[in-house]
Amino acid sequence: MSLYGHDQPTTPRLDAWAREALVFDDVVSAASYTVPSHASMFTGLLPSEHCATGEMATLHDDYKTLAELLREAGYATFLYAENPHLTEQQRISQGFSQHEHPWSPRYLERARAILKQKLDGDDTSELGDRLAEMERGERELTPWNVKAAGELAEDAVHDFIDATPANQPFFIFVNYMEAHRPYLPPRRYRERFMSPDQLEASYQVDRSWGTIWEYTFGQRDVAERDLALTRATYDATLRELDDLFGSLIDSLKQRGALRDTIVVLTSDHGEHLGEQHMFDHQSTLYEPALRVPLVLSFPGRLDAGRRPDPVMNFDVFPTLLELAGVPIPDGQHVSARSLLSAAPDRERLAQEPATESSAVRAMRRLHPGWNPDAWVRSQQALYRGRYKWIAPSHGDAELYDLDKDPAESRNLAALREIDAATLRGALARVRSQLVPCNESAIPELGAEDRALLEMLGYGSSDASDSQRSGSR
């Protein structure tokens, strides 16, 4: 993001909007993938406290979410999400009175048309073949096949506001999936970041699931040219997303819907684009997957500027409640901290709670002889000042000085014994203060929800399909 110093103009509209907002420069996510991160943002709890993971992709009813608390305080609540995890059935989005998605009946045909246009000439993933099979009646429609139709969000938000009484406050959550694999920016956005030859080549880079996981788990290499084209394509997705967000904000402002309205922009995770020899955002707690944006706008109530103090994306939970004047119920535990007061010495903990990621399980199926032992572990990442300590459930820990080595290229764990011991003790202390969830109380996913999970890449079907179709 150019907002955070990238040398390409990926977010010019956001940059302009953020000049009148509060920008946080040191932000990490509570987790590196969708389910635990969203559950943390909605509850103010860390993943080990709410237990919503890729395996348990649902949230127990006992947890009062941000949407539930605001709805109980009189807010109309609305969710528009392109991610199949964020559905009413999976209860991560409990508390939203209305849910809409690109696969909702009222938007489905437009979503299919948008995706079909984006896929014209694109041969980078299995999605084009899937849509063609669907049109021929050989494959059923799934939400995964109609994601990244973000232009529908603006209409959905306006329809919701129009149907909400003028004197009723509202809470709207919009989830975009444009900056997410398989990266499908329209041609006009690619043209901003690539030469004509690069643009045509960008439509042919192999980013099928098989290739993604084989590269991540060290079973193949990817040419530097293809890495560069993937990064340029990702830049183009951000530029598209920037226009979608900018258009939404401009239209709401023109309608007078932003008067006395708080706007928050953040993300559930980042993305590996070749760093640490990885793609995607599973089986990792490295910076590309954990660093996220966070911008808070509330003109007249919050001063514009930039804040360097350490914060986390799930801090939006207590912050929005405080700004709305809605108290956290007595007895409800919260690990997040309000963004309205700085804590420069804060220790932060990010977690990858799953012992075996679905990426590892997909790789097992692709390569039955592959040894996954080094990757079958949960992880904790503790941030303390300039240092970051990554502690897996088994295997060697890692220590990085992020001030001197933001790319995490040099593990200092064996060289800085005193620092390593200090951080090991700090992690134990921080973890002892958490309130672990009751895993036995988390409801099991049904067959339909588990199928959605797999179609999003957190299970078997994507890897199996790419294997059957001969991923390159």
pLDDT digits (tens, 9 = 90+) for 137-180: 888 888 888 888 999 999 999 999 999 999 999 999 999 999 99
pLDDT value at 444 more than 70: no
68-82, 126-140, 255-269, 373-387: segment of lowest average pLDDT: 126-140
Q: 223-249: b or e for each residue (b if 16 or more CB lie within 10 Å)? A: eeebbbbbebbbbbbbbbbbbbbbebb
Of 2, 23, 40, the C-alpha closest to 351 is 40
pLDDT of res. 211: 95
To which CATH superfamily is domain 2-348+439-468 assigned? Answer: Alkaline Phosphatase, subunit A (3.40.720.10)
Report whether 412 contacts 388 (CB < 8 A).
no
pLDDT of res. 440: 58
> How far, in Å, are 82, 159, 224, 349 from residue 172 at the CA level?
14, 12, 41, 28
Rounded average pLDDT over 437-465: 51
> How far, in Å, are 45, 329, 354 from residue 377 at the CA level?
21, 35, 7
pLDDT value at 453 more than 60: no
pLDDT of res. 442: 54
Report whether 37 contacts 29 (CB < 8 A).
yes
Rounded average pLDDT over 434-455: 62
pLDDT of res. 85: 86
Of 400, 407, 395, 372, the C-alpha closest to 385 is 400
82-135 tens-digit pLDDT: 998 898 877 788 999 999 999 999 999 999 999 999 999 999 999 988 888 888
Rounded distance between C-alpha atoms, residue 251 and residue 263, angstroms: 14
pLDDT of res. 57: 72
Place of tokens 């979410």: 65
Rounded average pLDDT over 384-391: 97
3-state secondary structure of 255: coil
pLDDT of res. 439: 66
3-state secondary structure of 121: coil
251-291 tens-digit pLDDT: 999 999 999 999 999 999 999 999 999 999 999 999 999 99
* Domain residue ranges of the chain, discontinuous segments joined by +: 2-348+439-468
Rounded distance between C-alpha atoms, residue 9 and residue 1, angstroms: 8
Token output for 174: 């919009």
Report whether 46 contacts 334 (CB < 8 A).
no
Please state, as a whole number, how many other Cβ atoms lie within 10 Å of the Cβ of residue 410.
12
Rounded distance between C-alpha atoms, residue 346 and residue 325, angstroms: 25
pLDDT of res. 356: 85
DSSP letter at 146 equals G
Of 243, 212, 179, the C-alpha closest to 357 is 212
Rounded distance between C-alpha atoms, residue 431 and residue 79, angstroms: 32
pLDDT band at 61 (very low <50, low <70, confident <90, very high): confident
Report whether 241 contacts 195 (CB < 8 A).
no
Name the pairing type of β-strands 272-273 and 379-384.
unpaired
- Please, what is the angle between helix 108-118 and helix 151-163, to 10°? 160
